[in-house]
């Protein structure tokens, strides 16, 4: 399958690394999607896919200038617009996973005229402060055990090989992203060979997370997102509560939800036919049969 890569320079000089898979028109952009590349690559035979590392992540430029990081997720939204312009796409189709699902939603609000269709997979909830009851928030012993292990790691002094420490962290974390523990070995998201990824936790806590907590999305702002949005979410998601997906589907003007019953934060691993089939139907202009119009939590 045809593939190309390179860098895109932002207005402030920061370079973002990208890889394009497949050929043809109507490309789908997948911000921060390199952890999805192997599983989603086959879609490049149907539509070209553009994966890129967001600011200060992956192979994009490493930065020590806090002024270029301070806006957090809002900067990611504007960088996405720069990527769209770079590739000359009039109306962009997007796939956003996890907190990048939130980024895609914010982009659809701010740059509504430039958006074609959006897929949010396991998106972070629109209101980070909201607490959801069971079964809209999945908490179990697997999550508790993983958090305990990671908490212990955080108390340990930094020493030894940073790459090995990163791998140890992901070995403890990856079990929470799947419903069935045997599928945990398929979570290879760490990219621990890259310095940006080894340092991501600090960037997350100092810049990205505060910018997310500062969001106060009103009904008026949500209403600016005119594009059709398909939300795909597992009911056993321990990382992004299922209730958040239902909130997205209720609050966006033109959105529907595909619920994956026995899946966690990576629903395409445990229900590939449902997830990939739904994405194809949606980007071809329709709604999947399983897509629900949500009217209540």
- Span 206-239, pLDDT tens digits: 999 999 999 999 999 999 999 999 999 999 999 9
pLDDT for residue 104 is more than 90: yes
| Separation between Cα atoms, residue 20 and residue 49, nearest integer Å | 6
CATH number at residue 269: 3.40.50.1820
| Separation between Cα atoms, residue 95 and residue 85, nearest integer Å | 17
Determine which of 108-112, 152-156, 173-177, 189-193 has the lowest per-residue pLDDT on average: 152-156
- Confirm whether 188 is domain-assigned: no
pLDDT, mean of residues 118-128: 98
For the chain, the average pLDDT equals 95
- Confirm whether 159 is domain-assigned: no
pTM of the model: 0.95
R_g over Cα of the chain: 18
pLDDT, mean of residues 275-297: 96
| Separation between Cα atoms, residue 181 and residue 83, nearest integer Å | 37
Backbone angles phi, psi at 285, to 5 degrees: 110, 0
**DSSP, residue by residue, 215-252:** ----HHHHTT--S-EEEEEETT-SSS-HHHHHHHHHHS
- Confirm whether 112 is domain-assigned: yes
- Span 127-184, pLDDT tens digits: 999 999 998 999 999 999 999 998 888 887 767 789 999 999 999 999 999 999 899 9
Domain extent at residue 238: 3-138+196-283
- Span 72-84, pLDDT tens digits: 999 999 999 999 9
- Confirm whether 219 is domain-assigned: yes
pLDDT, mean of residues 256-266: 97
- Confirm whether 77 is domain-assigned: yes
- Confirm whether 187 is domain-assigned: no
- Confirm whether 237 is domain-assigned: yes
Confidence at residue 264, expressed as pLDDT on a 0 to 100 scale: 98
Name the domain count of the chain: 1
- Span 194-204, pLDDT tens digits: 999 999 989 99
Question: 27: closest CA among 73, 76, 95?
Answer: 95
Q: Who contacts 57 (Cβ-Cβ below 8 Å, separation ≥6)?
A: 32, 196, 197, 200, 203
- Confirm whether 132 is domain-assigned: yes
């Amino acid at each position: 399958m045809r593939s190309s890569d390179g860098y895109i320079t932002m207005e402030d000089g920061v370079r973002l690394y990208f890889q394009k898979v497949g050929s043809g028109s109507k490309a789908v952009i997948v911000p921060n999607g390199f952890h999805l590349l192997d599983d989603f690559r086959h879609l490049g035979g149907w539509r070209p896919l553009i994966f890129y590392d967001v600011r200060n992540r992956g192979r994009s430029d490493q930065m020590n200038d806090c002024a270029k990081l301070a806006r957090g997720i809002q900067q990611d939204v504007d960088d996405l617009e720069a990527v769209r312009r770079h590739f000359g796409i009039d109306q962009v189709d997007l796939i956003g996973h996890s907190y990048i699902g939130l980024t895609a939603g914010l982009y659809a609000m701010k740059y509504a005229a430039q958006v074609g269709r959006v897929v949010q997979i396991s998106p972070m909830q629109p209101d980070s402060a909201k607490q959801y009851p069971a079964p809209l928030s999945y908490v179990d012993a697997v999550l508790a055990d993983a958090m305990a292990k990671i908490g212990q790691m955080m108390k340990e002094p930094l020493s030894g090989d940073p790459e090995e420490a990163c791998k140890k962290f992901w070995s403890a974390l990856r079990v929470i992203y799947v419903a069935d523990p045997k599928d945990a070995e398929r979570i290879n998201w760490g990219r621990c060979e890259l310095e940006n990824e080894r340092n991501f936790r600090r960037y997350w806590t100092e810049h990205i997370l505060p910018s997310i907590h500062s969001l106060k999305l009103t009904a008026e702002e949500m209403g600016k997102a005119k594009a059709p949005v398909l939300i795909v979410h597992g009911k056993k998601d321990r990382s992004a509560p299922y209730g958040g997906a239902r909130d997205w589907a209720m609050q966006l003007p033109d959105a529907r939800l595909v619920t994956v019953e026995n899946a966690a934060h990576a629903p395409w691993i445990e229900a590939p036919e449902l997830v990939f089939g739904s994405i194809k139907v949606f980007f071809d202009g329709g709604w999947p049969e399983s897509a629900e119009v949500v009217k209540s939590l």
